[in-house]
Amino acid sequence: MGRTVFISGAASGMGRAHARGFAAAGYNVVVADVDEVGGRAVVSEIGENAAFVRLDVRDPASWKAAVDETERRFGPISVLVNNAGIVSAAAPIADSDPADWDLVIATDLKGPYLGIRAAVPSLRRAGGGAIVNIASTTGHIGTSFIAAYSTSKWGIRGLTQTAALELARDNIRVDSVSPGVVRTPFITEPARPGAKPIAETWNGDQLAVKRMAEPEEITRVVMFLASEESAFITGSDYVIDGGLLIGPVVPADA
Ligand code: NAD
């Protein structure tokens, strides 16, 4: 039946690119998302080795139903990509809305926790495999005005290391990737009605490489971490950021 990858948030952006990349490598692909229209469009781009499964990553029952549906369609899961995410409404902590904090933590941090919890029995049935969690450079440094988002992404790296320790005995490796700024609707579209797209302030000009990443540049690393090429890697975080974390380029005449 072949190996099966389950990707949360695969209706858009990087998740869509991961779905296309894994499909091209011969995987069965589960496109899991709250966005049914976008998810079904990705499935029709890929063809018969893909299936849409409705998933709200904040809900344990939704995870259980999605994993059960995956097993019925393709058999056990070999690779879980915890990719779904939303950004905080931009606000300083002192003026921010606790309801927004809860929404972002529930989606970006509790979501991947629930995903690991729900998918591990399936990965065990597959004889082992890999989990790749999508963190962010905002999980390495402070990030003003999006505290819940940055805190979630810091948390993802802790979750990744803990899960890697617990799951090595099951032949399941767990790693994360930390993209910098990637050209997806997350960056190019307003996160909330009336908000400015992040791309208006973060367009890549600030980086050493002077551009944003394309989603496929993240897919290649996710697929490496899912493959046997990375058999001795677990609990790691791969920064894919065009030099964002190494700081600004200082002009030669400064
Ligand atoms: P995107 O907005 O294009 O896609 C996110 C997807 O997640 C959407 O399809 C959306 O419907 C889905 N989603 C949102 N809430 C969900 C929920 N409750 N349940 C299921 N699905 C849900 O964004 P993207 O840029 O492709 O982001 C993918 C991941 O990469 C996110 O975790 C994001 O935090 C992370 N990331 C993005 C960037 C960037 O610059 N774009 C940088 C670093 C990390």
Sketch the domain layout of the chain as residue ranges.
Answer: 4-238
Contacting residues for 244 by C-beta, under 8 A, at least 6 apart: 137, 180, 181, 206, 207
* Mean pLDDT rounded to a whole number for the chain: 96
User: Is 12 touching ligand 1 by the criterion CB < 6 Å?
Assistant: yes
Residue 26: CA count within 13 A, CB half-sphere: 4
The residue nearest atom 39 of ligand 1, judged by CA position, is: 182
Closest CA to 136 of 211, 99, 185, 82: 82
Which is more confident, 18 or 202? 18
Q: Atom of ligand 1 at shortest distance to CA of 58?
A: 18
Q: How confident is the model over 50-107, as pLDDT tens digits?
A: 999 999 999 999 999 999 999 999 999 999 999 999 999 999 999 999 999 999 999 9
- Rounding to the nearest 10 degrees, give the CA dihedral for residues 219, 20, 2, 228: -10
CA distances from 136 to 46, 83, 151 (A): 27, 11, 10
Percent of the chain past pLDDT 90, that is, above it, reads: 88
> How many angstroms separate the CA atoms of 111 and 42, rounded?
22
| pLDDT of residue 192 exceeding 90 | no
pTM for this prediction: 0.97
The phi, psi pair for 138, rounded to 5°, reads -70, -10
- Give the confidence band of 247 by pLDDT, cuts at 50, 70, 90: confident
What single letter denotes the amino acid at residue 124?
Answer: R
Q: How confident is the model over 29-57, as pLDDT tens digits?
A: 999 999 999 999 999 999 999 999 999 99
Q: Atom of ligand 1 at shortest distance to CA of 57?
A: 19
Closest CA to 30 of 60, 58, 72, 61: 72
DSSP class of residue 78 equals S
Q: What is the mean pLDDT of residues 191-204?
A: 85
Q: Beta-strand (E) ranges in the chain?
A: 4-8, 28-33, 50-54, 79-82, 129-134, 172-179, 237-240
User: Is 69 touching ligand 1 by the criterion CB < 6 Å?
Assistant: no
Q: Atom of ligand 1 at shortest distance to CA of 215?
A: 26
User: Is 150 touching ligand 1 by the criterion CB < 6 Å?
Assistant: no
What per-residue confidence (pLDDT) applies to 254?
65
User: Is 13 touching ligand 1 by the criterion CB < 6 Å?
Assistant: yes
The yes-or-no answer on residue 149 being catalytic is yes
Question: How many beta carbons lie within 10 A of that of residue 224, not counting itself?
Answer: 15
- Give the confidence band of 237 by pLDDT, cuts at 50, 70, 90: very high
Ligand 1 centroid to Cα of residue 253, in Å, is 40
> How many angstroms separate the CA atoms of 240 and 254, rounded?
28
Pocket test for ligand 1, best of 6, 14, 238 (most atoms within 8 A of CB): 14
Q: Atom of ligand 1 at shortest distance to CA of 198?
A: 40
CA angle at 74 for the pair 216 and 27, rounded to the nearest 5° = 30
What single letter denotes the amino acid at residue 79?
Answer: V
Exposure b/e, 64-87, CB count within 10 A at least 16 = b: eebbebbbeebbbbbbbbbbbbbb
What per-residue confidence (pLDDT) applies to 172?
98
User: Is 83 touching ligand 1 by the criterion CB < 6 Å?
Assistant: yes
Q: How confident is the model over 123-182, as pLDDT tens digits?
A: 999 999 999 999 999 999 999 999 999 999 999 999 999 999 999 999 999 999 999 999
| CATH number for the domain formed by residue range(s) 4-238 | 3.40.50.720
- The three-state secondary structure class of 232 is coil
User: Is 85 touching ligand 1 by the criterion CB < 6 Å?
Assistant: yes
| pLDDT of residue 8 exceeding 90 | yes
